[in-house]
Amino acid sequence: MTRSAHRSIWFVALAALVLLTGCSSTVPGAGVPGEIDVRTLDTGRFPTTTPTLSAALVQPDYLGIEAARMADAVLSPFEVDPKYALGATASAHTRPDSVVRYLFDSTVPVLRKHGMVLGFSTASADTQVPPEKALHDTAGQRREGLTVTVTRFPDEGSATAAAVELDAVDSVADPNNVPVRLPKYPRAAAHWRPTFPTLGSTTPHGPFVISVYAVTRNTDLNLLIGMTEKYLEAEIAMLDTFEPTPITELRRLRQDPDGMLARSLHDGGVVGRPDGNSEVVYTTRGYLNFVLDQVGRSRALRDAGVDRVAVAPMTFLFRTRDVDAAKRWVRESAELGDPAERRVVDPPEDVPGASCVEDLFTIAPQRFRCFVAYGRYGALLLGTRLWETKQRAAAQFALLANSGGR
């Protein structure tokens, strides 16, 4: 069972409480009694007013919005078994060819044949592994975990047919694969290689197909079956609570129904087109799929009552329960992670409650992270250069102040 490598981006959910000081003017941007005058902040070239939405969306854009909706119905393996505490990778899919990052390449014609509408993938394990090893490397597993892809089809019949063929094309990729039966799910198709500690399965459920790739450290088929069935039980129940938007009604979807993207810093002042992975708004459950530290981040999200996460290029905005919750979130989230892998750096000047860190072992685009908040909203700004990341953070603070914090 071969899997293509997938480059993933780790998202960190953090917020900061605003300490209010300042003047009494009510001119936009100038603050109200007790607040700073955000016009005095060093925001560089970055906008501090509400970004505009893209022009009229097209079909792929609406698929991206729907894929982000469906992410709420795709459980991180951590939510099913807390020992899978380290996220490996996640991605929304609006085209069959993007799914090959998680499924065998020859599945693409099958997905196209049966009219795949969209999909979402997630993975987590009990040991941190490089993303390129998260989906394959059957030669010597050093972890236990699950990689899951949920694909949606036009109807139950096409999903059922697709599930059978997806397993078939994956199975014939290696002559040593043998069929496996999942006792609790007789409609599922599965296979494994007796000398390798992995099991692949495809299970139809309504218009969906749940593809599960289970890995362990030892060739224990009963364990692999148990892991797979445990996940399927939880995921099927979750899908039963999800109401997919009919294909004919996708154009009724709104990209920013809660005004989250409108409060998020966009360097060019324009909200881009949604693709399911960016320029969309997730529920907390959907966002959790992208998180590396599943234990710490999920606890911080839960404690702060976060219910929406907007994802924009190098910007993440979190809506917490209230100002006090945002304060607690900053206190908890800023201390998560290994202290040896980060160092505190100077925050943007005059931005109340702001905090910045340098990630010592993170790829360049995310080297610096600055956190700001206003009202119930907290934001994470990423950047390569500290001075520029601080300017973006100041601009995000000003934008939140100008937009209101409720």
* DSSP per residue, 317-352: EEE-SSHHHHHHHHHHHTT-S-GGGEEEEPPPTT-T
Q: How confident is the model at residue 332 (pLDDT cuts 50, 70, 90)?
A: confident
Task: Tell me the residue length of the chain.
Answer: 406
- In this predicted structure, the answer to whether residue 344 has a pLDDT above a threshold of 60 is yes
> Which residues sit opposite 150 in a β-bridge?
120, 210
Q: pTM of whole model > 0.85?
A: yes
Pair 107, 98: CB distance under 8 Å: no
Helix (H, G, I), strand (E, B) or coil at 245: coil
Q: How confident is the model at residue 18 (pLDDT cuts 50, 70, 90)?
A: very low
In angstroms, what is the C-alpha Rg of the chain? 22
Q: Which residue has the higher pLDDT, 366 or 318?
A: 318
Q: What percent of the chain has pLDDT over 90?
A: 67
Q: How confident is the model at residue 136 (pLDDT cuts 50, 70, 90)?
A: low
Per-residue pLDDT, 34:
55
The pLDDT tens digits for 169-228 are 988 888 899 999 999 999 999 999 999 999 999 999 999 999 999 999 989 999 999 999
